[in-house]
Amino acid sequence: MTQQQKTSRKPGRVRRAVIAGAVALTLSAGGATAWALDRFVIQHVEISDVSAYQASQSGTTTSAVQAGTSTSAAVTTDTTYSSESSDITISTVTTGSGDSTVTYYVADVVLGDATTLQSAFANDSFGENITETTSAIAEANNAIFAINGDYYGFRDTGIVIRNGVVFRDEGARQGLAFYRDGTVKVYDETTTTAEQLVADGVWNTLSFGPSLLDNGEVAEGIEDVEVDTNFGNHSIQGEQPRTAVGVIDENHLVFVVVDGRSPGYSAGVTMTGLAEIMQDLGATTAYNIDGGGSSTMYFNGGLVNNPLGQNKERGTSDILYIAG
């Protein structure tokens, strides 16, 4: 996993098996190995039917939207779909040449109502080490558009509010809050509580980071941020596949997925490079979420991007999506 991260053998489970093996080699046998397996491989389901749980906690309803997709060659926009509730335009951008080529995908989204943007968990369950591919979660929730989320299940900290319901309240880092009124803000999780955020009108949160733009300017120190330092976690520095969310205006968002680790197709970008992409798109606020093999954009039944140049998704714990 780059950040503080239809077959019977899911990619996420394979990755965790690899992590477990590596940890077992570096830790002493017995208790330490058992701890590693428990922490990174064994599923810990805290809520097994999230849909029912959310329904019992709030009276929220879902909104529908349509969208479009594209191919690349510099900047290409194939389709823009407009409806009374939302507009989504998906474009492909290719820059550079040879091994320095970078390919990324942009979803420009205007929401009629902020609660049209929803979140869903793998297997409709909340907990640690529960994974499905972005596509599988999207299909299970009738999504027309989706991106990978913050991989909350890789860690046990952070504030997790999804579709207006609190699932975790362990402030630890810079978070991103989507409000019901359409505003989106970067905030310090350690200075507030999930209960207060919901009272203030927060609809969804992401707990990853770092913040990429401050008032439209590239944030300082973003190349030095560490989101997670757990076993099995990779550095977030250097040229990597990336996923980010940007704010252009109230209820006007931009989502970017950068492919990477595929010389000749897409090398990936640094954190600063990602910030500059968001800046060029007109975002004033932008926030980095889980990347690497997790970076996925889904539309209308299929992948928009090409994860790791292999068209093969890695399992993740959650998505942001718009229902179709």
Of residues 304 and 1, which shows the higher confidence score? 304
Dump pLDDT digits (tens) for 190-229: 999 999 999 999 999 999 999 999 999 999 999 988 776 5
CA distance 78 to 68: 7
CB 118 within 8 A of CB 165: no
Cβ atoms of 152 and 44 within 8 Å: the answer is: no
- pLDDT value, residue 305: 96
**pLDDT for the residue 297:** 96
Least confident among 19-23, 163-167, 171-175, 248-252: 19-23
Q: 3-class DSSP state for residue 61? A: coil
Query: Coil, strand or helix: which one is 248?
Result: strand
Amino acid 324: pLDDT: 82
The pLDDT value recorded for residue 291 is 94
The pTM assigned to this predicted structure is 0.82
Candidate from 32-36, 109-113, 148-152 with smallest mean pLDDT: 32-36
Q: How far apart are CA 292 and CA 282, in angstroms?
A: 24
